[in-house]
Every structure is written in C-alpha cells, then in structure tokens.
C-alpha cells in the first residue's frame, strides 16, 4: 500500500520504492509540505515534523491576527498561492471578476483509488492494471471564490516515480481567469542542491548544464509554442555530494509539448521551491461557470543512486507507462531515410536504387522524407497539399510502397501536418486557417505558417487527408515533423479575451489529432520530429514511441546530444542514424565504425545515399546491421548507464546491461587524439559481481566485480612511434565497443 493516511490528523504519506512524500492539512486548512526524500517508516503521527518558531517571526505577515508565529512564508507549502503571506513563486494565480487575485484553497476531502485515471485531453502516464499504482486526490475549496482545486498524486507500485497534476473547477456564475496553474511545486528545506538542465539549440540539443542554487529565481522555460530545443521540459536537483552513481537526485519532467516553466526559487530562509508546469507567461485562460481546467502532468522521480538511478527510473516510466501501442515493447526496425541522401531531389528510380542497396545490407524499413507531395521541390511551397506528386513518383505512393515491399522492406512516409505554405492549394482555399494574431504583421519561418489547430474544422481537414494517404498505400511508419516555432500567437476564431488560450488550445488540438490518428492506425510506427529535437518530450512520447533526436547526425556532436538526452529519455526513443561524411551539419569526417558505434544506441538507421557505398562499405554496413540485430533488444531496452561524460572530458563512455545482468555492451569514444596518451580503464556498472563475463572481442574473462571496481582496459592508443600491425586507435574520433556475456552464472571460477 504506497499511500498511508493518518485520517484523524489529516497527514498523507506517499511511499514509493525508495522515497517518502509527506504533507498534511495545517491549522488554516491549507496544505503544508513536510518531506520529500528517502523512504521513511510510516508512523501514526508525523506531527513532530511540523516546525513552528517559538517567537514571532520578524518583519513577516500573518494570516491570523495575533499569531505572529504562523506565516506562510516560513512554512513549506504544498501548492502555494500568492497574496496571503507567502511571497515565493506561486503554483496558482487566478483573477476573479470582482478584481480579487487572492486564492484561499482549503482542504475539503480526499479520495484514494487503485490505478491511475487518465487526464482529459492530455497525455499522461498510465498503468495497465489497477494494482500497478495508487492515486490520491486531494480536494480543496475556495468557498469565497466558488472554485475547487483537485491535486492528483499517483504512486507507482515498487517504483520511484510520482505523477502529479492539478485541476481547477469553477462552481460560480462568473468567469475565473487562470493566470497560472502549475502541475507540481515542492519546497525543499535547504538550497544545497545542484540544478541540472538540458539546453541547446537546433542541431545542438539537450546539452548538459549544471548550476549551484543561488538566492532568487533560477528557471528554464519555453515561449516558442514547442517544448523546444533551447530547454527541455525537465530539470533535476542533486543534493550536495551526489554523482552519477550515488547520492540523492530529484527529477522533474513535464508531460507537455508546448510552453512550459520549470524553476527553483531560493528564499531568504534558504529553502528551495522547485516547480514545473504550463508557462504562465502569455497564458490567460477564461474558465467559465461549471468548467474545469486540467493542468498537464508532472512526473517526479526520486533517486538515492545518483543521476543514473534517476535516469533509469525515467527510462522505465517512459517505456512502460508513457509510450503505448503495438510498438511500445518492440524492437524498432533498422531504417534508411532519404533526407540527407537526396533532400528534395529524387524520383522513383533514385529511391528504388537506394532501396535495392538497403535490402542487400539488411535494412528493414525505407523512409521517404520531405518532398513527395504536390510540387514540393524546395521548402517554399506545398505544405498542406498532402497529395502524391506523380511527377516524382510515377507509380504513386501505392506503387512505390509495393516496390519497396517487394524488396523485403517496409515503407514509411514523412508528413508535416501542422503547417501550411502560402504557396499551396490549401492556403488559396483557406488563408484564414493560419494561426495569427489580429494585427497585420506576421513573422516568417522556413517559408511556412502554422495551422490554427484550435479549430476542429482545420484539424478534421488535415486528419482526413492523412487518413486517405495512410489508407492508400502500405505505409507502416510515419515521421510526424514540425519545423517552425510560433510567433504572433493568436486565432481569428476566438474572441479577444481568449487569445491568451491559443498556445495551449493548439496543444490540445494537436493531442486530439494524434490520439485519433494513432488509434486509427495502431500498426503504424510513429516517430515524432520537430526540426530534429525541438519537441523531444514525454507528451509526444505518449503518442509516438520514438523521436528524431536531432538534425545533427555528426557522430561526435551526437555524443553530447545523446548523452544529455539520456538523463531523461531511453535509447529506444532516440532516433539515431549513420550519415555520410563529410557530415552535413559540421563538415567533420569520422569513420563508419565510429558513426555506427554512436547510432547503435538508439532507434537506429542510416540516412545517406546507399548507392554510393563502395564494396567494402557495403560489407561493413552489412556487418553493422547484423551486429545490431543480434543485440537490438539490449541496445534499445537494456538498463543504460553513463560512465564518462563528454561534457567533462575528451572521452565518453556508456553501457547497457540486460535485465538479468547476463549481457552487457560497453562503448568508449575519444573525441581528439592525445599524443603520448595514458592508459584508460573504464569502471563498469550494473553487472553482477559474482558473474564471470567473457569479453567477445578477445575471449578474455573477468568477474563482474573486477569490471566494476578495477575496470575494463581500453586497448592502448597510438603512441606516436610508428604505425604497425598492432597499432589501434589512431587519430581523432576513435571508438570501441565490447560485448560482455556471463559464462557461468552465480559463481566465480
């Protein structure tokens, strides 16, 4: 039973595998947060954890006259609001028609239920059986403003995830304007934490940044209408002394693909408030009488085994409780994508020539990217006109798919359904469908504009086109792309007071489309993409089990990107392709082997013109694919450990271990050659100390404890004294991969 309640004292104890989360109803009937951290034993009373000063608090304000020891600013809040003596960042801010901005949500009741209810209209974690989770709902009421606030908490059985969200209902006769309704807020007792975040840009996504908490507000957000490649909707707080393998780390992830806010405020008492939710910036929601507003879900993870422990919990949650459908647990097909091979310049013959080589080397899925539809010969036209272009595809999509299938490959197709080009039939017919404010200027981005998905008519029209295309040919994979950020956010169909709702209504419209399409085509493997990783978030993962990690396919850049991404997301979700050299994003030349060694930790494929392969390359690629297929389950679904960070040194190492610990694959990468280099050993992780592992590369055997404590020896690098038949690891961008398999389980030799 992961939720304990001391009913008479109204104390709530949520207990996960390794954590406890405690709060209670305090004397003013609001909620006080008591503790979030390592699991503690349940007690019949936690009243001793309620700390109040013995004397009046200096220069403070107080809700009760004459009680100078009770000030909200000195109390850890569970779901704070502004204006009644707490001055920190609130979780809720409402504007009432009488001009009041004050909320006073007091405890009314609670319910506990087995399982986990879904969130209406929004992606959220789920369980398949009710015994996998327990959900507590706290119902609070602001009787003056006639509104209820529900706080949802789900504890997953035997896991370290805690799902939170909030919902506001207006029971009055007048509108309530929601300015802010976050999903989670947690008050930590000290500021002794490091904040970790994943930041970047296009082709430089999810780079790791850490900072010590400082007084004041430190936050990340998106105002772009996408969760964004600038900041991922995720942050972690690591207690002083924590590292990759030990110490306490708290993760905060928002299951949302649009504007978000995540931050920490350190106040004058040096407590730290960590919060995450919809971005209040430019957000105003008119909640009419009897309507409810559901905030997105925040997924919190606690780890007492460092960052790796946190990441592994997220990987499990996202793989088993977020991704859905037929492909959730399946190994993903090795694909070839024609984008970097041809860009817009292709015809049926060219594609089939690539497919011929792809089939020969063992590729399983051929993906036709941008440029297959009416007059789309560059990025200036045609978005919205989802009709096959017979000038390029003489047999049409059906004929092309059939010919690809005849070669033993599945066929997949690219779409960018949320967009419209001014140069398109759709725009001629419906210029009013473009998302825009009521002023005259309209900023540009990749020559395309965003469709107003707040409108059902627009959604339906696009969905119907997609339905027709997907039913017209044997299309078994869809890449759903999205290539510009929002500007001048507004809708010609909503009234003036609702313009602050548009960005969120857009997301609700998008989610509705994704739900319908993925349910109607349950066998199709969907991959999400947004100029690479501009919308790499759990919200999209709910509908599509994998995402294109970045438009940057350079192996060395991918070390940073995939390493950073792994803090929250599993390898099965990360699209990773071997592309040609010189690399199209950096001009860098790396070996085919290094490119493979990086991409194989992901939803793996190739993105190059395979017809250019030499015979040797063809042979090498065939061997890569055979290797990948043999180990695919482990590479995509094994337990992932980061061992050496590309953000801290010239070397990167990571590994995956099978659930039964009998098999592991370790990878090492060195960015720049080092003259007269030292020996390198990598201390492995996650192995069974007693198992005897055989190193496939050379047949040597090691005990698990040796590999973890003494380490795996990387072969000696080129020493600069002349190349001979023993020389290895020469030059920049070197990599090595080892397969380790347990020989004799349970005992040493």
Give the residues across from 255 on adjacent strands.
297
Residues in the chain: 749
- Could you give the 3-state DSSP secondary structure of residue 39? coil
Q: What are the C-alpha distances in Å from 596 to residues 114, 555, 600, 649?
A: 45, 8, 6, 21
386 binds ligand DGJ per the rule CB under 6 A: no
Q: Per CB under 6 A, does 557 bind ligand DGJ?
A: no
Is residue 370 at the binding interface for ligand DGJ, with CB under 6 A as the rule?
A: yes
Q: Of 197, 189, 194, which is closest to residue 242 (Cα–Cα)?
A: 194
Half-sphere exposure of 197 (CA within 13 A, CB side): 23
478 touches ligand DGJ by CB under 6 A: no
What strand order describes the sheet that includes 31-38? 3-6, 11-15, 19-25, 31-38
User: By C-beta, is 103 or 483 nearer to ligand DGJ?
Assistant: 483
Residue number, 94 or 203, with CB nearest to ligand DGJ? 203
Q: Using CB under 6 A, pick the residue from 483, 565, 580, 599 that binds ligand DGJ.
A: 483
Among 31, 529, 600, 737, binds ligand DGJ (CB under 6 A): 529
Question: According to CB under 6 A, which one of 275, 414, 415, 654 is a site residue for ligand DGJ?
Answer: 414
H/E stretch holding 250 reads strand 249-255
Residues touching ligand DGJ: how many (CB under 6 A)?
11
Q: Check residue 531 for interaction with ligand DGJ (CB under 6 A).
A: yes
Alpha-carbon span 276 to 261, nearest angstrom: 6
Return the residue of 267, 369, 527, 651 that touches ligand DGJ, per CB under 6 A: 369
Rounded CA-CA distance 395/387 in Å is 13
Secondary structure (3-state) at 746: coil
**Residues 6 or more apart from 349 whose CB is under 8 A from it?**
none
Piece of 132-140, 402-410, 526-534, 560-568 that binds ligand DGJ (CB under 6 A): 526-534
- The least distance separating ligand DGJ from the CB of residue 146, rounded to whole angstroms, comes to 47
Closest CA to 169 of 285, 271, 27: 285
The window from 12-20, 173-181, 529-537, 609-617 that contacts ligand DGJ (CB under 6 A) reads 529-537
Candidate residues 16, 325, 490, 532; the one interacting with ligand DGJ per rule CB under 6 A: 532
Question: Which of the stretches 255-263, 284-292, 423-431, 525-533 binds ligand DGJ when contact is defined by CB under 6 A?
Answer: 525-533
Which of 280, 282, 285 shows the shortest CA–CA distance to 175? 285
For residue 597, which of 700, 667, 677 has the smallest C-alpha distance?
A: 667
Spatial separation of the C-alpha atoms in residues 222 and 235, rounded to whole Å: 13
Q: How far is the CB of 479 from ligand DGJ (least distance, A)?
A: 6
Taking CB under 6 A as the rule, does residue 551 contact ligand DGJ? yes
- Binding segment for ligand DGJ (CB under 6 A), chosen from 214-222, 242-250, 528-536, 713-721, is 528-536
CB of 482 to ligand DGJ, least distance (A): 9
The residues near 403 (Cβ < 8 Å, ≥ 6 apart) are: 348, 352, 355, 395
In the complex with ligand DGJ, the residue whose CB is nearer, 339 or 526, is: 339
Per CB under 6 A, does 526 bind ligand DGJ?
Answer: no
Determine which one of 551, 554, 609, 651 is catalytic. 551
Contacting residue, 415, 548, 563, 604, with ligand DGJ by CB under 6 A: 548
Distance CA 112, CA 288 (A): 28
- Rounded Cα gap, residues 650 and 656, in angstroms: 21
Could you give the CA distance from residue 245 to residue 188 in angstroms, rounded to a whole number?
A: 22
Residues 304, 370, 385, 481: which is the catalytic one? 481
Asked if 480 interacts with ligand DGJ (CB under 6 A), we say: no
| Shortest separation between residue 565's beta carbon and ligand DGJ, angstroms | 15
Task: Tell which one of 82, 293, 339, 669 touches ligand DGJ (CB under 6 A).
Answer: 339
Sole window of 53-61, 527-535, 539-547, 591-599 interacting with ligand DGJ (rule: CB under 6 A): 527-535
Q: Is 551 a catalytic residue?
A: yes
What's the CA gap between 529 and 369, in Å, rounded?
12
Least separation in angstroms between residue 575's CB and ligand DGJ is: 9
**Residues with a known catalytic role:** 481, 551
Residues at the contact surface with ligand DGJ, assessed by CB under 6 A: 339, 369-370, 414, 481, 483, 529, 531-532, 548, 551
């Amino acid at each position: 039973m992961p939720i304990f309640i001391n009913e008479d004292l109204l104390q709530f104890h949520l207990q996960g595998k390794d954590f406890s989360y405690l709060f209670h109803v305090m004397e003013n009937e609001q909620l006080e947060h008591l503790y979030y951290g390592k699991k503690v034993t349940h007690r019949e009373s936690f009243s001793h954890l309620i700390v109040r000063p013995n004397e009046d608090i200096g220069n403070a304000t107080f809700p009760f006259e004459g009680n100078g020891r009770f000030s909200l600013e000195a109390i850890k809040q569970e779901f704070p609001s502004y204006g009644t003596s707490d001055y920190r960042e609130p979780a809720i801010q409402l504007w009432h028609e009488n001009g009041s901005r004050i909320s006073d949500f007091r405890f009314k009741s609670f319910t506990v239920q087995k399982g986990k209810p879904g969130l209406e209209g929004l992606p959220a974690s789920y369980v398949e059986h009710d015994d996998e989770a327990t959900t507590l709902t706290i119902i609070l009421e602001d009787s003056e403003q006639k509104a209820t606030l529900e706080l949802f908490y789900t504890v997953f059985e035997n896991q370290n995830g805690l799902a939170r969200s909030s919902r506001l209902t207006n029971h009055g006769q007048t509108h309530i304007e929601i300015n802010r309704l976050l999903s989670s807020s947690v008050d930590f007792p000290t500021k002794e934490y490091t904040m970790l975040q994943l930041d970047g840009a296009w082709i430089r996504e999810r780079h790791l940044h850490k900072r010590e908490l400082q007084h004041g507000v430190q936050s990340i957000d998106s105002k772009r209408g996408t969760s964004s490649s600038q900041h991922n909707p995720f942050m972690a707080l690591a207690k002083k002394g924590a590292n990759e393998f030990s110490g306490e780390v708290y993760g905060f992830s928002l299951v949302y693909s649009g504007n978000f806010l995540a931050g920490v405020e350190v106040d004058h008492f040096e407590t730290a408030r960590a919060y995450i939710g919809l971005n209040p910036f430019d957000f105003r929601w008119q909640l009419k009488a009897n309507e409810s507003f559901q905030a997105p879900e925040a997924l919190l993870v606690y780890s007492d085994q460092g960052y790796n422990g946190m990441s592994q919990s997220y990987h499990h949650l996202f793989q088993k409780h977020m991704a859905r459908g037929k492909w959730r647990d399946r190994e993903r097909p090795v694909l070839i994508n024609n984008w970097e091979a041809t860009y817009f310049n292709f015809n049926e013959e060219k594609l089939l020539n690539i497919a011929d080589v792809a089939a020969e080397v063992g590729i399983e899925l051929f993906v036709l990217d941008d440029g297959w539809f009416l007059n789309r010969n560059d990025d200036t036209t045609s978005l919205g006109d989802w009709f096959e272009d017979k000038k390029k595809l003489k047999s049409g999509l059906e004929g092309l798919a059939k010919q690809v299938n005849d070669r033993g490959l599945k066929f997949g197709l690219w779409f960018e359904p949320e967009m419209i080009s001014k140069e398109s039939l759709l725009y001629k017919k419906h210029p009013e469908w473009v998302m825009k404010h009521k002023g005259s200027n309209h900023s540009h981005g990749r020559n395309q504009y965003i469709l107003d998905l707040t409108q059902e008519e627009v959604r339906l029209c696009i969905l119907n086109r997609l339905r027709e295309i997907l039913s017209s040919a044997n299309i078994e994979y869809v890449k759903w792309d999205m290539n510009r950020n929002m500007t001048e956010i507004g809708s010609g169909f909503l009234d003036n007071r609702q313009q602050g709702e548009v960005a969120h209504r857009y997301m609700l419209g998008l989610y509705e489309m994704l739900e319908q399409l993925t349910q109607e085509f349950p066998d199709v493997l969907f991959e999400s993409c947004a100029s690479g990783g501009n919308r790499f978030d759990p919200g999209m993962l709910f509908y599509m089990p994998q995402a294109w990690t970045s438009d940057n396919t350079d192996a060395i850049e991918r070390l940073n990107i995939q390493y950073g991404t792994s803090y929250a997301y599993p390898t099965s979700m990360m699209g990773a392709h071997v592309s040609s050299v010189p690399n199209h994003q950096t001009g860098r030349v790396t070996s085919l082997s290094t490119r493979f060694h990086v991409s194989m930790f992901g939803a793996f494929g190739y993105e190059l013109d395979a017809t250019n392969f030499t015979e040797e390359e063809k042979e090498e690629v065939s061997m890569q694919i055979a290797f990948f297929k043999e180990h695919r389950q482990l590479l995509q679904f094994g337990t992932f450990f980061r061992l050496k960070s590309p953000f801290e040194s010239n070397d990167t190492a990571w590994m995956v271990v099978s659930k039964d610990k009998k098999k592991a694959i370790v990878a090492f990468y060195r960015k720049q050659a080092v003259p007269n280099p030292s020996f390198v050993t990598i201390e492995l992780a996650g192995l069974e100390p007693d198992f005897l592992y055989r190193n496939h590369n050379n047949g040597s055997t090691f005990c698990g404890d040796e590999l973890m404590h003494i380490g795996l020896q990387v072969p000696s690098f080129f020493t600069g004294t002349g190349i001979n038949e023993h020389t290895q690891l020469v030059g920049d961008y070197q990599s090595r991969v080892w397969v380790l398999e347990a020989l004799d389980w349970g005992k040493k030799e």
